[in-house]
């Protein structure tokens, strides 16, 4: 039989050798006697036969632990002019980010009368004046025309005081067909795809090589007094499109534009660097002539400082090629050049480009050429 204590506490009568059946109650709270009588009538004969009744032990309810505190990530600092940590040469030469860096969003009007870049400034520490322009995300290749670019102030006075240089790390780190394949203005009434991630070999991708050399070049130029605009903020995202890269220099009234690339020619004998200038340019004949001068300076500096030969497959062994189909130079108002710093598909060129010391010398060569051009 069941005791009242069993009903109240829920304890099993198995410890007493009886089965505990909790009687049901009717709507008025009274015990249903018929149910009790029926159970007793069934249980007594079976008990006399030696049948033991027991209620299976119910598992103990798990102890309730205190709710875990929510995991929160530390605030992410904005992307800076960071250097790849796997290359000690680059890490040693690029400047560290300034903790109190402040984005400078100075309104300006480009030569074509366009509006200035819309940028979100990084918060400035009130205890000290801004010393360098903080990084800003280049909005790049989206459905609307972007106002991208990442501005960095000089790190020291020098021969490039007051000068503005755009350094364009060619291509982008991510391929997104809906964006990259979109046709954009390439100059001269032509269009071309927004952008790509570039060529590659077994050692590295072109977009990463371009990014590394661009960081080194930007650091050298800033140390000489130049304000530097990078066309993209990192080696991860998509864009900007090729037409927007030219617009960054135009909007910010750059003195020169240097675009950094590497080639992917599949000919077994094709090797060496070449410098591309526009066959036509938005800046007209004066910009074209100055671009030719800058290209010659870049070529001569590379020959003097690196082991990379001039191209064996284009430019008639001069190391300089005029092309009408390169949007970054064709749409540029200031003087602009595009360096193809070697052929990534040629083993000898690829070995050079994989060497941090070579990349360091390329950056010095570019900074020297720009300094000579603008001094």
DSSP 116-158: PP---PPP--TTS---SPPP-----SSSSPP---EEE--SS--
Strands (E), 216-264: 227-230, 256-263
CA separation, residue 366 to residues 118, 219, 309, 333, 334 (Å): 29, 11, 16, 20, 17
Length of the chain (residues): 375
Residue 214, both tokens: 């661009």
Residue 50, both tokens: 């030696």
Cis preceding linkage at 244, omega within 30 = no
Q: How far apart are CA 227 and CA 194, in angstroms?
A: 27
For 29, which DSSP code? S
Residue 151, both tokens: 């501005």
As beta bridge partners, residue 164 has 227
Residue 78, both tokens: 């904005």
**Catalytic residue (choose from 206, 244, 301, 340):** 340
Neighbours of 59 (CB within 10 A): 6
Q: Contact, 324 vs 188, CB < 8 A?
A: yes
**In Å, how far from its chain's centre is CA 148?**
14
**In Å, how far from its chain's centre is CA 45?**
81
As beta bridge partners, residue 323 has 278
For 210, which DSSP code? H
Active site residue 11: no
If we measure between CA atoms, which residue out of 258, 274, 283 comes closest to residue 337? 258
CA separation, residue 20 to residues 34, 53, 212 (Å): 16, 9, 79
Q: What are the catalytic residues?
A: 340
């Amino acid at each position: 039989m069941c005791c009242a204590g069993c009903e109240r506490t829920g304890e099993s009568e198995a410890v007493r050798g009886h089965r505990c059946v909790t009687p049901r109650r009717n709507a008025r709270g009274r015990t249903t006697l018929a149910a009790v009588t029926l159970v007793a009538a069934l249980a007594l004969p079976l008990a006399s036969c030696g049948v033991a009744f027991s209620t299976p032990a119910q598992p103990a309810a798990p102890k309730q632990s205190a709710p875990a505190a929510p995991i929160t990530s530390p605030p992410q600092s904005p992307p800076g002019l960071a250097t790849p940590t796997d290359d000690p040469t680059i890490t040693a030469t690029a400047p560290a980010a300034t903790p109190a860096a402040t984005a400078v969003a100075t309104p300006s009007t480009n030569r074509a009368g366009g509006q200035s870049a819309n940028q979100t400034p990084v918060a400035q520490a009130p205890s000290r004046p801004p010393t360098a322009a903080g990084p800003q995300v280049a909005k790049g290749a989206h459905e609307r025309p972007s106002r991208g670019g990442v501005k960095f102030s000089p790190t020291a006075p020098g021969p490039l005081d007051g000068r503005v240089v755009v350094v364009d790390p060619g291509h982008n780190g991510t391929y997104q067909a809906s964006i990259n394949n979109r046709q954009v203005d390439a100059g001269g009434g032509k269009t071309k795809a927004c952008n790509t991630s570039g060529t590659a070999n077994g050692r590295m991708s072109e977009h990463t090589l371009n990014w590394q050399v661009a960081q080194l070049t930007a650091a050298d130029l800033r140390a000489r007094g130049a304000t530097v605009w990078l066309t993209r903020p990192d080696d991860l995202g998509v864009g900007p499109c090729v037409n927007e890269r030219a617009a960054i220099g135009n909007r910010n009234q750059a003195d020169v534009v240097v675009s950094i690339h590497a080639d992917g020619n599949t000919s077994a004998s094709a090797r060496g660097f070449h410098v591309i200038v526009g066959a036509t340019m938005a800046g007209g004949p004066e910009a074209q002539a100055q671009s030719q001068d800058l290209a010659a300076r870049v070529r001569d500096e590379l020959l003097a400082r690196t082991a990379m030969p001039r191209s064996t497959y284009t430019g008639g062994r001069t190391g300089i090629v005029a092309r009408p189909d390169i949007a970054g130079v064709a749409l540029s108002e200031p003087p602009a050049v595009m360096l193809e710093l070697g052929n990534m598909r040629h083993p000898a060129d690829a070995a050079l480009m994989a060497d941090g010391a070579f990349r360091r010398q390329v950056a010095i060569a570019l900074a020297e050429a720009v300094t000579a051009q603008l001094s």
